Amino acid sequence: MKNGFHHLHLRKRIYKNLEPYPHGDVFKKFFDKLMYVVALLVPLIPLPQVWEVLVNKNVQGVAVSSWFFFGVVDILWLIYGFIHKEPPIYISNFIMTILNFVVVIGVLLYR
């Protein structure tokens, strides 16, 4: 999934008769499932910033343009995940999109 090239590997497996999914190897099968957990946990990283903006109403030092463009990029990744039918990508980026725009709205409200 690094650098957005995960879908290419999926296509290689399908068209070149490479490894099946889910993989028969225990480690690879575990890692495939781990990525679903990562897709749910990684978007929680901006929660302290969301808390600071919404609960404490402290927007000092928060660049609204950065959070806005993070949200736009997440929308693109969300679309990419749907197009390639990759749940870890679209689950993660759906949550990230919401959190990024919550920060943007909070900054605009409390500025």
pLDDT in tens, 87-107: 889 999 999 999 999 999 999
**Closest to 35 measured CA to CA, from 91, 83, 74:** 91
How far is the CA of 81 from the CAs of 16, 17, 24, 88, 97, in angstroms? Answer: 22, 23, 24, 8, 13
Q: Which domains does the chain have, with CATH numbers?
A: 2-110 (1.20.1280.290)
Instruction: Give the whole-angstrom CA distance, residue 98 versus residue 30.
Output: 28
pLDDT > 90? residue 77: yes
Instruction: Please state the rounded mean pLDDT for residues 7-19.
Output: 61
pTM: predicted TM-score of the whole model, two decimal places: 0.72
- Could you give the 3-state DSSP secondary structure of residue 58? coil
d(CA 68, CA 73): 9
